[in-house]
Amino acid sequence: MSPSAEHAIVRSELRWTVVVIAAVSLIMLAVIFAAVAMHINPPSNVERIDPQTLHLSAEFTESDLGTRVEANGQVTARIVATQFAFVPRCIVLPANRPVTLRFATPDVIHGILVTGTNVNTMVVPGYVSQVHTVFRTTGDLLMPCHEYCGLGHSEMMATVRVVPREAFRPGPDGRVSCADK
Amino acid sequence: MADREDDDGLTDERIEAALRQTPKGAFALAGLTVGLLMLAWAAMYVLVFLPRGSVG
Amino acid sequence: MPTNKRLILAHLWVAFLVFAAACGLGVWQMWVRSPLSAPQDAPARYYQSVTGHGVAMAYVLTTFFIMGFGYFTAETSLKAEIPAPRLAWGSFWTALAGVALTVGSIASGRADVLYTFYPPITATVWFYVGLVLVVVASWVWCGQMIAAMARFKRARPGEPVPLAMYATVANAVMWLWTTAGVTVEILFQILPAVLGWTHTIDVGLSRTLFSWTLHAIVYFWLFPAYIAFYTMAPRAAGGRLYSDTMGRLSFALFLLYSLPVGMHHLFMDPEHSTGFKFIQMSLTALVSIPTLLTVFTISASMELAGRLRGGQGLFGWIRALPWDQSMVLATGLAFFMLWFGGGGGLINMSYGMNAMVHNTAWVTAHFHLIFGGTVVIMYFAIAYEIWPSLTGRAAGSPGARRLQLWLWAVGMMVMTLPWHYLGLQGQWRRVASFDYSDPRIAAWGPWVVVSLGGGVVLLASALLFIANLAPRSSAPRLTPAPTYAFALAAHPPRSVPRALNGFALWNVLVAILMAVAYGFPLLQFFTGDAPRALIHPLSGG
């Protein structure tokens, strides 16, 4: 057994290791680029809210849910995920304009995605899940509950109605709902 | 050291001879497959992921 | 030559029979989800079945197979009986009792909580008691593996522990770390709630503890496949392992990096900040390194075998390999599926990119390919490989073995490629039925039917596997009873560095990394008023 043969093996393994580290580094760089330059991050505002008194909270009482244009022009939709429905079941949002989605649940773990977009978050009792995004396409997008929340899980879904900017007309109270359309 | 029942019948000479050509092919195969993997990842990144827009 | 053949066979038979039954459940689940009309189509039945399928595949098949294969590896590679065979039987019966309790709970309809059992939804207490029994039994197995290696090192100081055993003990050590998270979750959070001592639970904490377990458990399942790649496939191909050192290093790195990465399952969760998500993403990128090193080392081992068999040129050695050997064929198919499954995994771990696929059918496709594909096909190959030395008879005919492996790989690809596509279209997970009359969903129907076709092929393969293993008096008895030998390295090591002959250093590093990765994310739940959610028992149980 020649030691040089074993050295040759170690050398070729090291050469391959360099290739592997380069490949993994490339992926890391692309991911950091997406996060920093393209603003694509996991939704991570750590904001606590008591699930047992959610319906009494200032923000998530039933009359305050849905889409609202704030005084500063920011568009925010507030949605409660509960076994086995979203409240409201349909929200209207403008295309090509920054919007914020805020979710909370009084009961169990839910989750949402909006088909065809990167909008995706878990909805965990005890926390407000918040997603900032800009919708680029218009139409009725599907927003299902994507985490098992009980036997009615399959029925739990909502619609995100993305309308052209000019068709997005809030009422005098700053609110827009699917019934208006 | 290997016990007799572990013996696989290969001699050191044969192993050394085969090692002289190895791992050229493994480099080619692993390089090709990992290269294609990187391309597939990049295609998903550019063609599907980025167009779906900013979130966070 | 294993001494405790009956012990090993008992473990493997429990694993494989439960596996075959769970394949049947899987097919029925896809049928229910498809546009075709299926029998027993009701959400309660569906989630009962998903829970059974998940528990059977993730906890029963894996744990029993790994324990049985571990006993085989210990006795074969160290050429000595395991330290405490009677205790091993005790842990076997304990684990089996645990399975009976958990499966009984599911069958009675009081545990439709899926195999991840996320609180605040809870099942009957017996569901969790059964799982705890399986985990405790597996700890006894870990102790046996660690003690067997220690005894070998005491008896032969300075001599390298055989690679197959080194890897098995790496898995045992990793499993002890891995199970800590879920065990704490069950004992200190779920059981007090299920027993009625408290009515609320900190869901953020429970998800974080479960994530501690959730990634490393996958590597626990994966280890036997890698052990086969390094220590069985090279010999089956007529060659040797290219580098024993790289094998040891890869297994040690798996132990190190598969643990501090579980939060990549929580990228979309609101209870953790971007900082710790980013740290765990970076560590997850590192866990891809030992896999990519393995791809090269195993390719080189196969090239060595191919060249020994006369293969020439850059790729000619591939054709020269003995593809009629089930271990060689399974290794090739496993790496083919690893390309797709690993590629999907790279996308899952890519931080923001996770938002594109999280909780869609893409993820289901990913872990079916990696686990059901790459890992389980190697479980088949390992069983075929060691069957003669356990039973004195070959497992079925060579043609039947090859057909079974091909059916499995083809079925898995046909099932999971449509799932990847549907996941990107937004098809979400864990759904009992889709409303195909909705125009946004209608186009998914045909692809769901295609994947069902793949599932039927998988079920056929699973049944053929059982038939191949089944004892048959018609099969010729092999005399003398064949002894199994693991692959040698191209240069069998005379001595190895201490770090690659034990786990002390690696345990210290794991402790440090876990403190960095999970220290604050866990502690934050003990600061301020961590919110608590009301328990939601899923049924009267």
Would you give the DSSP letter of residue A131? E
Name chain B contacts of C79, Cβ cutoff 8 Å.
3
- Check CB contact of C242 with chain B, cutoff 8 Å: yes
Q: Note the pLDDT of residue C6.
A: 97
Name chain C contacts of B18, Cβ cutoff 8 Å.
239, 304, 307-308
Minimal Cα distance from A119: which residue of C?
C355
- Mutation site, C198, C287, C358, C441, interface A, largest A CB count within 10 A: C358
Report CA dihedral (A23, C294, C210, C380) to the nearest 10 degrees.
140
Which of B19, B27, B52 has the CB atom closest to A116's CB atom?
B52
- Check CB contact of C205 with chain A, cutoff 8 Å: no
Find residue A16's DSSP bridge partners: none
Rounded-to-integer distance, Cα C285 and Cα C266, Å: 16
- Mean of the per-residue pLDDT values for chain B? 89
Task: Return the number of other C-beta atoms located less than 10 Å from residue C528's C-beta.
Answer: 8
Q: Note the pLDDT of residue B53.
A: 87
Q: Which of residues 67-126 of A touch B (CB under 8 A)?
A: 116-120
Q: Residues C216, C240: contact at Cβ < 8 Å?
A: no
Cβ neighbours of residue C156 under 8 Å, at least 6 residues apart? none
- Check CB contact of C483 with chain B, cutoff 8 Å: yes
Sole residue written with tokens 């593996």: C145
Q: pLDDT band at C367, cuts 50/70/90? A: very high
- Check CB contact of A180 with chain C, cutoff 8 Å: no
Q: Note the pLDDT of residue A1.
A: 52
Q: Does the pTM exceed 0.90?
A: yes
Q: Note the pLDDT of residue C540.
A: 40
Rounded-to-integer distance, Cα C522 and Cα C526, Å: 8
Which of A17, A127, A154 has the CB atom closest to C271's CB atom?
A127
Share of chain A above pLDDT 70, in %: 98
Q: Residues C517, C280: contact at Cβ < 8 Å?
A: yes
Sole residue written with tokens 């098992």: A148
Share of chain B above pLDDT 90, in %: 70
Q: Note the pLDDT of residue C491.
A: 92
Q: Note the pLDDT of residue B37.
A: 96
Name chain C contacts of A154, Cβ cutoff 8 Å.
43, 431-434
Both structure tokens of C530? 């961590």
- Check CB contact of B50 with chain C, cutoff 8 Å: no
- Mutation site, A108, A121, A127, A156, interface C, largest C CB count within 10 A: A108
Q: pLDDT band at C262, cuts 50/70/90? A: very high
Interface contact C346-B41, CB threshold 8 A? yes
- What's the pLDDT tens digit per position in C229-249? 999 999 999 999 999 999 999
- Check CB contact of A100 with chain C, cutoff 8 Å: no
Mean pLDDT of B21-36: 95
Mean pLDDT of A142-155: 96
Q: Note the pLDDT of residue C154.
A: 97
- What's the pLDDT tens digit per position in C13-45? 999 999 999 999 999 999 999 999 999 889 999
- Mutation site, A1, A4, A7, A9, interface C, largest C CB count within 10 A: A9
pLDDT beyond 90 at B7: no
Name chain B contacts of C315, Cβ cutoff 8 Å.
25, 28-29
Which superfamily, per CATH, for A58-180?
Cupredoxins -  blue copper proteins (2.60.40.420)
Rounded-to-integer distance, Cα C357 and Cα C344, Å: 10
The maximal CA–CA distance of chain A, rounded, in angstroms, is: 87
pLDDT beyond 80 at A3: no
- What's the pLDDT tens digit per position in C441-484? 999 999 999 999 999 999 999 999 999 999 887 778 887 778 99
Q: Note the pLDDT of residue C481.
A: 76
Q: Note the pLDDT of residue C45.
A: 95
Distance between C444 CA and the closest CA of chain A, angstroms: 13
Interface contact C358-A113, CB threshold 8 A? yes
Interface contact A40-B55, CB threshold 8 A? yes
Cβ neighbours of residue C405 under 8 Å, at least 6 residues apart? C326, C329, C330, C333, C377, C380, C381, C461
Both structure tokens of C1? 């030559």
Which of B12, B38, B55 has the CB atom closest to A119's CB atom?
B55
- Check CB contact of A96 with chain C, cutoff 8 Å: no
- Check CB contact of B47 with chain C, cutoff 8 Å: no
Q: What are the residue numbers of the active site of C?
A: 215, 219, 366-368, 429-430
Mean pLDDT of C283-288: 92
Sole residue written with tokens 């496993």: C334
Rounded-to-integer distance, Cα C109 and Cα C441, Å: 30
pLDDT beyond 90 at C290: yes
Burial A148-162 (b: 16+ CB within 10 A, else e): bbbbebbebbbbbbb
Interface contact C120-A125, CB threshold 8 A? yes
Distance between B13 CA and the closest CA of chain C, angstroms: 11
Q: Note the pLDDT of residue A6.
A: 83
Which of B14, B30, B44 has the CB atom closest to C299's CB atom?
B30
SS3 annotation, A42-99: CCCCCCECCHHHHHHCCCCCHHHCEEEECCCCCEEEEEEEECCEEECCEEEEECCCCE
Q: Note the pLDDT of residue B4.
A: 56
Residue type, C85: P
Task: Return the number of other C-beta atoms located less than 10 Å from residue C255's C-beta.
Answer: 28
Q: Which chains touch B (3 or more CB pairs under 8 A)?
A: A, C
Interface contact B6-C353, CB threshold 8 A? no
Interface contact A154-C207, CB threshold 8 A? no
Which of A120, A144, A154 has the CB atom closest to C355's CB atom?
A120
Interface contact C490-A120, CB threshold 8 A? no
- Mean of the per-residue pLDDT values for chain C? 96
Q: What 3-state DSSP class applies to C12?
A: helix
Interface contact B55-A136, CB threshold 8 A? no
Mean pLDDT of C113-131: 97
Report CA dihedral (C411, C415, C418, C422) to the nearest 10 degrees.
-170
Which of B5, B22, B44 has the CB atom closest to C485's CB atom?
B5
Share of chain A above pLDDT 90, in %: 87
Q: Note the pLDDT of residue C541.
A: 36
Interface contact C494-B1, CB threshold 8 A? yes
Interface contact C347-B41, CB threshold 8 A? yes
Q: Note the pLDDT of residue C478.
A: 84
Q: Where are the domains of chain A?
A: 1-41, 58-180
Output C330 or A180, whichever has higher pLDDT.
Answer: C330
Q: What 3-state DSSP class applies to A140?
A: strand
Q: Note the pLDDT of residue B2.
A: 45
Interface contact A16-B55, CB threshold 8 A? no
Distance between A1 CA and the closest CA of chain B, angstroms: 7
Rounded-to-integer distance, Cα C151 and Cα C82, Å: 10
Both structure tokens of C69? 């294969």
- What's the pLDDT tens digit per position in C169-222? 999 999 999 999 999 999 999 999 999 999 999 999 999 999 999 999 999 999
- Mutation site, C48, C201, C269, interface A, largest A CB count within 10 A: C269
